[in-house]
């Protein structure tokens, strides 16, 4: 005899609870989610939940949804059980912003049109080259254990050469291999700044969508930008030494796409030298230029070791490698490498070997040429679609590289509503609000991930939503 459907749900939840996977105090999935999981009506879910409530295993709590209140053992022994849920809200580090969590989750949904993802499309992935490089690495493999604290020396040499080609003369001992630029920020936040420090940054900025510095007890302070980049005049007077830092993305800024100009770069460097304000230069989009190479980095203008420079293979090759680097004064790099060891004992050997091979065999530069061609087609397609469908409803600048177009929707349209509506129609985009409080009228459109048809279709559908709003 087949079990009734509600019983399947009861059994499933009981098992989760009794194995301790859904601990006491934790929320169970919403009725909507359960109905979807089991492909049943909501009424069937309700029948199941009522039975579990009757058994005393779950309980509806105001503002919390339905939570686990007991398990078979606590019921038996009448024993109060540990409540992990309390711990979840205790840690010093904040959870991600809710909208960001929602976007993160939706980004792995392949049925959506991804106008959100800040990464290259799988079409751009150099599969054959990657395969042959991995095979080469496996042929040359020797037994491997923990890596050197700063990262594999061959990889650091390859990064040093790579940087030399981009105007930066840096020894391998001044380079720390990290698992991407985000980890670099995490290490800097716990290792170089005291609680209460100020992080100056462009407004809007990608960094606002993260909680990395706030979690470490720092404040973010926005600096205005114009088309040339950060406006130096708008940096507030700086408080005591060692209590502030400037975070900037001078090349193909995320989310606005702005490219900081030559003169502005010199101004920023001069200002920061004079004011003894250290700089974090996040330069992960440098290689994604479309029309012309960007001006030289701030780091290449840095005569005092004032700039910590971040680079990565995530945006150009694949984020799955988890390989990036921090460049800075040796004493700073030593401190950060100790913290890297403390937090994960270094990055994956396999990833480091594969990255070394990519950077040193010439394939990387060839791959970049291909990426740039494809990005140009994609950007132009996006601009064409925007001109066709959105020119009366929005304005934007033409990005000269990177992955993003920063679109200002005319004030009468509510972008939060646009985001929700678009998502319900299968289009994922990033609302400007996650990048700065007063960026509510903007959306960030990525032309890197979706297909050309999807870009056209996505922009068209956005325009329809706006028209009908």
Positions 279 through 298 that interact with a copy of itself (CB under 8 A):
none
Q: How far is the CB of 20 from a copy of itself (least distance, A)?
A: 3
- Total residues binding a copy of itself (CB under 8 A): 117
Distance between terminal CA atoms of the chain? 52
CB 272 within 8 A of CB 237: no
The number of angstroms, rounded, from the C-alpha of 70 to the middle of its chain's C-alpha atoms is 38
SS3 string of 180-227?
CHHHHHHHHHHHCCCCCCEEEEECCCHHHHCCHHHHCCCEEEEECEEC
Our finding on whether 161 is near a copy of itself (CB under 8 A) is no
Stretch that binds a copy of itself, among 13-21, 33-41, 52-60, 409-417 (CB under 8 A): 13-21
Which of the residues 399 through 428 are near a copy of itself (CB under 8 A)? none
> How far is Cα 234 from Cα 222, in angstroms, rounded to an integer?
9
Residue 242 CB, shortest distance to a copy of itself, in Å, is: 4
What is the three-class DSSP state of 337? helix
C-beta of residue 197 within 8 angstroms of C-beta of residue 357: no
d(CA 130, CA 364) in angstroms, rounded, equals: 10
C-alpha closest to that of 279 among 338, 312, 229, 327: 327
Residues 222/342, Cβ–Cβ less than 8 Å: no
Which one among 134, 231, 368, 383 touches a copy of itself, defined by CB under 8 A? 134
Is residue 266 involved in binding a copy of itself (CB under 8 A)?
no
Region 200-259 residues binding a copy of itself, contact defined as CB under 8 A: 210-212, 215-217, 241-242
Question: Tell me, what DSSP letter sits at residue 130?
Answer: H
Question: By CB under 8 A, is residue 63 in contact with a copy of itself?
Answer: no
Interface with a copy of itself (CB under 8 A), residue from 64, 293, 304, 398? 304
Per CB under 8 A, 109 contacts a copy of itself: no
Pick from 234, 276, 365, 387 the residue near a copy of itself by CB under 8 A.
276
- Pick one of 30, 43, 138, 365: the residue that binds a copy of itself (CB under 8 A): 138
Locus of tokens 């990387």? 364
Q: Which is nearer to a copy of itself, 91 or 362 (CB)?
A: 91
**C-alpha distances in Å from residue 316, one per residue of 312, 357, 367:** 8, 15, 9
Among positions 347-366, residues that touch a copy of itself (CB under 8 A) are 347-351, 354
Contacting residue, 3, 39, 80, 292, with a copy of itself by CB under 8 A: 80
Provide DSSP, 284-326. Answer: TTGGGBSSSPPPPPSGGG-SSS-EEEEEESTTTT-GGG--EEE
Q: Binding to a copy of itself by residue 108, rule CB under 8 A?
A: yes
CB atoms within 10 A of CB 305: 16
In this chain, which stretch among 246-254, 343-351, 396-404, 413-421 interacts with a copy of itself, using CB under 8 A? 343-351
- The rounded distance, in Å, linking the Cα atoms of 443 and 419 is 9
The residue within the footprint of a copy of itself, chosen from 63, 90, 165, 237 (CB under 8 A), is: 90
Task: Candidates 84-92, 227-235, 261-269, 426-434: pick the segment binding a copy of itself (CB under 8 A).
Answer: 84-92
**CB-wise, 223 or 307, nearer to a copy of itself?**
307
- Of these, 130, 249, 290, 390, which contacts a copy of itself (CB under 8 A)? 130
30 lies in the binding site for a copy of itself (CB under 8 A): no
Selected binder of a copy of itself within 2, 3, 54, 146 (CB under 8 A): 146
Nearest distance, CB of residue 313 and a copy of itself, angstroms: 11
> Which listed range, 332-340, 370-378, 388-396, 455-463, lies at the site for a copy of itself (CB under 8 A)?
332-340
CB nearer to a copy of itself: give 194 or 373: 194
Q: Using CA of residue 463, residue 465, residue 466, residue 467, what is the dihedral sign?
A: positive
* Span near a copy of itself by CB under 8 A; candidates 182-190, 283-291, 365-373, 394-402: 182-190
Asked whether position 116 contacts a copy of itself by CB under 8 A, the answer is no
CB 229 within 8 A of CB 281: no
CA 164 vs CA 4, 75, 93, 297, 313: distances in Å: 68, 67, 37, 12, 16
Q: Does residue 342 bind a copy of itself (CB under 8 A)?
A: yes
Say how many C-beta atoms besides its own lie within 10 A of residue 38's C-beta. Answer: 16
Instruction: Give yes or no for residue 56 binding a copy of itself (CB under 8 A).
Output: no
Task: Provide CB contacts within 8 A for 142, sequence distance 6+.
Answer: none
Least distance to a copy of itself, CB of residue 182, Å: 5
In angstroms, give the least distance from the CB of 417 to a copy of itself.
Answer: 26
CB of 34 to a copy of itself, least distance (A): 14
145 touches a copy of itself by CB under 8 A: yes
């Amino acid at each position: 005899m087949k079990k009734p459907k509600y019983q399947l749900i009861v059994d499933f939840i009981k098992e989760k609870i009794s194995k301790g996977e859904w601990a006491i105090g934790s929320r169970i999935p919403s009725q909507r989610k359960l109905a979807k999981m089991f492909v049943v009506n909501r009424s069937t879910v309700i029948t199941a939940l009522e039975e579990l409530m009757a058994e005393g295993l779950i309980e509806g709590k105001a503002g919390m949804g339905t939570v686990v209140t007991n398990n078979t053992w606590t019921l038996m022994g009448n024993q109060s059980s540990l409540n992990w849920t309390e711990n979840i809200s205790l840690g010093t580090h904040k959870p991600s912003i809710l909208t960001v969590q929602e976007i993160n989750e939706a980004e792995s949904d392949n049925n959506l049109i991804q106008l959100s993802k800040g990464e290259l499309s799988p079409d751009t992935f150099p599969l054959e080259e990657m395969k042959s490089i991995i095979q080469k690495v496996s042929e040359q493999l020797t037994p491997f254990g923990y890596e050197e604290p700063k990262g594999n020396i061959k990889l650091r040499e390859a990064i040093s050469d790579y940087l030399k080609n981009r105007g930066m003369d840096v020894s391998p001992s001044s380079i720390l291999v990290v698992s991407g630029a985000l980890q670099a920020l995490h290490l800097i936040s716990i290792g170089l700044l005291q609680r209460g420090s100020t992080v100056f940054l462009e407004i809007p900025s990608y960094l606002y969508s993260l909680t990395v510095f706030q979690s470490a007890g720092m404040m973010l302070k926005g600096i205005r930008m114009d088309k040339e980049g950060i406006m130096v005049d708008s940096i507030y007077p700086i408080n005591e030494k060692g209590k502030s830092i400037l975070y900037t993305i001078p090349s193909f800024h995320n989310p606005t796409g702005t490219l900081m100009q030559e003169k502005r770069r010199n101004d920023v460097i001069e200002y920061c030298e004079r004011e003894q304000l250290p700089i974090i230069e996040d330069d992960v989009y440098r290689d994604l230029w479309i029309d012309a190479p960007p001006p030289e980095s701030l780091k290449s203008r840095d005569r005092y070791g004032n700039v910590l420079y971040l680079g990565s293979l995530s945006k150009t090759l694949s984020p799955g490698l988890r390989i990036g680097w921090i460049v800075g004064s040796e004493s700073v790099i030593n401190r950060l490498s100790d913290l890297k060891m403390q937090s994960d004992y270094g990055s994956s050997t396999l990833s480091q070997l594969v990255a070394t091979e990519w950077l040193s065999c010439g394939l990387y530069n060839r791959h970049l040429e291909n990426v740039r061609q494809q990005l140009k087609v994609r950007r132009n397609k996006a601009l064409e679609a925007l001109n066709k469908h959105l020119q009366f409803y929005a304005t934007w600048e033409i990005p000269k590289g990177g992955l993003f177009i920063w679109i200002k929707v005319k004030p009468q349209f509510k972008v939060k509503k646009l985001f929700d509506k678009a998502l319900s129609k299968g289009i994922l985009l990033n609302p400007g609000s996650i990048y700065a409080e007063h960026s509510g009228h903007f959306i960030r459109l990525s032309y890197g991930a979706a297909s050309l048809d999807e870009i056209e279709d996505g922009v068209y559908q956005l325009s329809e939503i706006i028209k009908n709003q």
